[in-house]
């Protein structure tokens, strides 16, 4: 059932090895996220247009996947060499479906009886949906000021929803103290497989751009799983001789009211510090202390990328501007990425002939 090419798990921070045939959370030595290591052999993507096209670099056989046909989202033109990767087209309307499909598939395969996670919104909906598809009970905790559409979405799938004062970090603490004892924790980067789902965004770009990578990738960053995943995927592609040593310059976009990755990058720190009073209505960006912050910083530096914070007042107008220009349903997080792209273009950091991919991470519908 598991992919025979998986060699094992190792810690992103200290490298300590872990067994992939049992349920794992974070590194048992240092508490940091675990990475899946493969015996990488070049392959041709095949099968229906979902992320399961990339089975040889995924931890579980697609026949045993909990799948709602996630991934292989379109890449749509926005003019001037800019392409939008429209993640709103995933199940439950966001890129969170990718990670949850993998996490829930592996959790079920390795014997989990129930699932839980804190969420800024979209991850909760995705977990509720994949839990329903897997036949496993789900408990989620979200900040109490999360817009109602995110909350009702979870209930539609039959999940138990707890609303907690504060932000996603507070929701996580609440769940740790009060959540169901038998539930496996699928929090961002606190189990090894969500990043494996998210990395498929990079594989898709490579396939959709006729076996080339873009020059720049602009990515709205909350927990940073996608950034970490794509960076990992590029290394995998190089190991398989799909690409050489060149890399797309990764750009991490955050909101001025919650920008721990930007602060860490600007201050040349090796890790992020908890953001004291996180405030932004782009809820997916309201992640004050991402456990994978240090990996994001490494990815930005190694790819000669950058990090940029967007003013709150710019976010919604930028989302509208992009929607009116393209017909894409842009969410606030995607709006932040678009505003950052404009800034980086006018500052010259993005050059006129750069091929740029901007991520719209979810649908705007849940904000209405």
Q: Which residues bind a copy of itself (CB under 8 A)?
A: 48-50, 66, 68-69, 72, 74, 76, 86, 89, 91-93, 129-134, 148-149, 152-153, 156-158, 319-320, 323-330, 363-366, 368
Smallest separation (angstroms) from a copy of itself to the CB of 207: 10
The rounded distance, in Å, linking the Cα atoms of 201 and 189 is 17
Smallest separation (angstroms) from a copy of itself to the CB of 159: 9
In the complex with a copy of itself, the residue whose CB is nearer, 68 or 163, is 68
Q: Are the CB atoms for 14 and 30 separated by under 8 Å?
A: yes
In the complex with a copy of itself, the residue whose CB is nearer, 183 or 227, is 183
Helix, strand, coil percentages, rounded to 5, for the chain: 40, 20, 40
The rounded distance, in Å, linking the Cα atoms of 197 and 12 is 17
In the complex with a copy of itself, the residue whose CB is nearer, 85 or 232, is 85
The rounded distance, in Å, linking the Cα atoms of 205 and 78 is 16
Smallest separation (angstroms) from a copy of itself to the CB of 191: 19
Smallest separation (angstroms) from a copy of itself to the CB of 40: 26
Q: Structure tokens of 322?
A: 């992009």
Nearest to 254 by CA among 191, 307, 320, 322: 307
DSSP assignments along 233-286, one per residue? HHHHHHHTTSS-S--PEEEEEEETTB-HHHHHHHTT-SS----SS---SSGGG-
In the complex with a copy of itself, the residue whose CB is nearer, 94 or 306, is 94
Smallest separation (angstroms) from a copy of itself to the CB of 168: 21
In the complex with a copy of itself, the residue whose CB is nearer, 325 or 351, is 325
In the complex with a copy of itself, the residue whose CB is nearer, 86 or 236, is 86
The rounded distance, in Å, linking the Cα atoms of 295 and 281 is 25
Smallest separation (angstroms) from a copy of itself to the CB of 134: 8
Query: What does the DSSP 8-state code read for residue 2?
Result: B
């Amino acid at each position: 059932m598991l992919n025979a090419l998986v060699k094992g798990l190792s810690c992103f921070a200290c490298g300590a090895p872990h067994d992939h045939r049992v349920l794992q959370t974070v590194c048992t030595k240092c508490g940091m996220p675990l990475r899946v290591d493969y015996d990488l052999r070049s392959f041709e993507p095949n099968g229906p247009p979902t992320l399961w096209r990339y089975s040889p670099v995924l931890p579980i056989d697609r026949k045993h996947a909990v799948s709602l046909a996630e991934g292989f989202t379109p890449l749509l033109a926005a003019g001037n060499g800019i392409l939008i990767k429209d993640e709103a087209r995933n199940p439950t309307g966001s890129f969170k479906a990718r990670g949850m499909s993998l996490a829930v598939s592996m959790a079920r395969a390795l014997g989990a009886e129930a699932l839980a996670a804190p969420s800024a919104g979209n991850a909760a909906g995705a977990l509720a949906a994949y839990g329903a598809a897997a036949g496993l009970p789900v408990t989620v905790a979200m900040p109490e000021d999360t817009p109602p559409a995110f909350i009702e979405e979870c209930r539609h799938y039959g999940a138990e929803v707890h609303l907690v004062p504060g932000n996603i970090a507070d929701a996580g603490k609440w769940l740790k103290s009060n959540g169901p004892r038998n539930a496996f924790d699928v929090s961002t980067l606190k189990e090894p497989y969500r990043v494996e789902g998210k990395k498929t965004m990079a594989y898709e770009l490579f396939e959709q751009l006729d076996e080339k990578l873009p020059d720049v990738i602009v990515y709205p960053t909350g927990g940073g799983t996608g950034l970490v995943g794509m960076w990992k995927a590029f290394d995998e592609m190089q190991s398989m001789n799909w690409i050489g040593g060149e890399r797309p310059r990764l750009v991490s976009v955050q909101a001025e009211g919650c920008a721990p990755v930007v602060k860490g990058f600007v201050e040349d720190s090796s890790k992020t510090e908890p953001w004291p009073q996180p405030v932004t209505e782009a809820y997916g960006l309201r992640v004050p202390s991402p456990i994978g912050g240090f990996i994001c910083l490494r990815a930005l530096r190694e790819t000669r990328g950058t990090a940029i914070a967007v003013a709150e007042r710019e976010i919604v107008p930028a989302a509208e501007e992009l929607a009116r220009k393209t017909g894409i349903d842009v969410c606030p997080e995607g709006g932040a990425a678009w505003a950052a792209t404009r800034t980086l273009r006018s500052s010259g950091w993005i050059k006129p002939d750069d091929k740029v991919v901007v991520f719209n991470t979810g649908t705007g519908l849940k904000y209405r």
